[in-house]
Amino acid sequence: MAVPRFWREIPNRYNLVGARCGNCNKVLFPPRYICPHCRRMGKLEPYRLKRRGKVLTYTVVHAAANGFEDQAPYVLAIVELEDGPRLTAQVTDCNTDEIKIGDEVEIVFRRMGEDGQDGVIYYGFKARRV
Amino acid sequence: MRDVAIIGVGLTKFGELWDVSFRQMMMEAGARAIEDAGIDGKQIDAMYIGNMSSGQFIRQEHISSIVADHAGLVPIPSTRVEGACASGGLALRQAVIAVASGIHDIIVAGGIEKMTDVLTGQATGALATAADQEWEVFVGATFPGLYALMARRHMYEFGTTEEQMAMVAVKNHHNACFNTCAQYKTEITVEDVLKSPPVTSPIKLLDCSPITDGAACVILAPAEKARKFTDTPIMVAGTGQASDTIALHGRSSLTSLRATIEAARTAYKIAGVKPDDIDLVEVHDCFTIAEIMAIEDLGFCKKGEGGKMTEQGETVIGGRIPVNTSGGLKGKGHPVGATGIAQAVEIVQQLRGEAGKRQSDGAEIGLTHNVGGSGGTAVVHVLRRGD
């Protein structure tokens, strides 16, 4: 995959930068380019989200996604962040039998994988129980 | 708008069809449908073909031309329709709209996927492109993973059990035993499902629909002309389609598919029917939890009671509302682009009384429910026996 595809998402993935709409004040993540609530009336500005949230649901992935084989079994969850938005993230530093709905987590910076032997190593976020 | 009828249906065998090509499958399903309709190819005005990902599965795009070409039907217009696993349902809907509008009379709506010309990892990778590549797949999500996130939350909110999910697979395998086209004609038990290898907990291998080759086809005509071709036209009484966020995490509910609810609302309204009027349904059981959520979202029970409804045997053939008499995606197989059309084929055969050992007696109104991705697209059709 071309390097720019990873490179252009760096602010969002490394620093959890989404958007806040100056019209309705809603915080949006992953990033969007039009506020889905206000549409053309919206005024989106970059917004760095708070890193705390809680687990809404989870699964233990045994049959890994392509590129994640060496990490299986891993915990995958949907996390609701304090600012409101939800995201999908792996739960790191967590035994597969420890996770439960309602667990408090923080979003942390992690190595996610690599694009083959010759491609870039890419980074992003995972969730860690607190 | 004109009323629209289905006058012919055709299906290939579903399964791992190593010796059959994409082109051969589509011609086989098409020829069967045309023969069933008793029409001549020259009478066909246009075609819509549902196909999710021929580019990834057989490295061939532009299959609309291939299908018209190999059918010997050039120069009629041929259009490929894509909405992930809902591609077939969307092709049917586009064909229905085209006949209803009066722009065409006789139309072929086909669906096809050739999934076994790549290795399993490539196939699951191709399917994963129906999810959000940047914010789901990038972090390690898979399709069974996304449905597992829904399943876990459904268990948490409503007390749905892994046994209840297993019962969906057991029922659909049983129904598939009576379907000559089905991929799995094998009975399984609840214990088999519970003991099958974990994929993405709580989803296990036997909760998942398989990777399948297959094609399906229906022929549509304006209702006023349908009797010229068949004594048993099946009316497309209602059609509905809706969209939702591409990513599961973008939705307020993790236990129902809003696209299903909205598509069904439209289809019911156009057909002038309520959930109680429906005699049988083909729903999108890509995973067992998906059937449980579908029967809730389509209004056949209260939200959260789909597991209980399954456990009480209300969804078996002969039950209150038979669900997936064909075997569903789980038992019959899930060639993604073909599935939406294959669902319509099953309902037509049931309403005609031609479903053999899996016949649901006296069925007059049936419904098909086809979902793309984790629910980013849904399409619902209500079919009714023409009187």
Question: What does the pLDDT look like over A9-51, one tens digit per residue?
Answer: 999 999 999 999 999 999 999 989 999 999 999 999 999 999 9
Percent share of chain A, pLDDT over 90: 87
CA distance A21 to chain B (A): 16
Tell me the count of A-B CB pairs closer than 8 A: 93
The per-residue pLDDT for A115 is 84
The per-residue pLDDT for B115 is 98
Query: Which helix or strand (DSSP H or E) is residue B79 part of?
Result: strand B78-81
| Chain A contact set for B197 (CB, 8 A) | 62
- Contact yes or no for B200 and A63 at CB 8 A: yes
Q: Is B293 on the interface with A (CB under 8 A)?
A: no
The per-residue pLDDT for B339 is 98
CA distance A115 to chain B (A): 11
Residue A108 clears pLDDT 80, i.e. is over it: yes
| Chain A contact set for B150 (CB, 8 A) | 57
User: Is residue B174 annotated as part of the catalytic site, yes or no?
Assistant: no
- Contact yes or no for B198 and A89 at CB 8 A: no
| Of the candidates B303, B158, B10, B201, the residue with the CA atom closest to the CA atom of residue A74 | B201
Strand partners of residue A35? A39
- Contact yes or no for B138 and A112 at CB 8 A: yes
**Who's near B32: CB < 8 A, 6+ residues apart?**
B9, B10, B11, B12, B217
- Contact yes or no for B135 and A87 at CB 8 A: yes
Give ranges for CATH 3.40.47.10 in chain B. 4-119+212-234, 131-208+235-385
Average pLDDT of chain A is 95
Q: Is A87 on the interface with B (CB under 8 A)?
A: yes
Give me the residue label for tokens 């449908």: B33
User: Residues in chain B with pLDDT < 50?
Assistant: none
Higher-pLDDT residue of B64, A3 = B64
The per-residue pLDDT for B374 is 98
At the topology level, CATH places domain B131-208+235-385 in Peroxisomal Thiolase; Chain A, domain 1 (3.40.47)
Domain ranges of chain A: 51-129
Q: Is A60 on the interface with B (CB under 8 A)?
A: yes
Residue A1 clears pLDDT 80, i.e. is over it: no
Query: Would you tell me which residues 117-156 of chain B have a C-beta closer than 8 angstroms to some C-beta of chain A?
Result: 121, 124-125, 128, 132, 134-142, 144-145, 148-153, 156
Q: Which candidate in B104, B173, B334, B369 is catalytic?
A: B334
| Chain A contact set for B121 (CB, 8 A) | 66
Q: Is A66 on the interface with B (CB under 8 A)?
A: yes
Chain A interface disruption, residue of B120, B134, B138, most A CBs within 10 A: B138
The per-residue pLDDT for B386 is 87
3-state helix/strand/coil string of chain A: CCHHHHHCCHHHHHHCEEEEECCCCCEECCCCCCECCCECCCCEEEEECCCEEEEEEEEEECCCCCCCHHHCCEEEEEEEECCCCEEEEEEECCCCCCCCCCCEEEEEEEEEEECCCCCCEEEEEEEEEC
Give me the residue label for tokens 């890509």: B286
| Of the candidates A41, A92, A49, A85, the residue with the CA atom closest to the CA atom of residue A68 | A92
CATH architecture of the domain with residue range B4-119+212-234: 3-Layer(aba) Sandwich (3.40)
The per-residue pLDDT for A127 is 98
The per-residue pLDDT for B173 is 98
User: Is residue B181 annotated as part of the catalytic site, yes or no?
Assistant: no
Could you say which DSSP state residue B272 is in?
T
Q: Report domain A51-129's class.
A: mainly beta
Establish how many alpha carbons lie within 13 A of residue B260's alpha carbon, considering only the half-sphere containing its beta carbon: 27
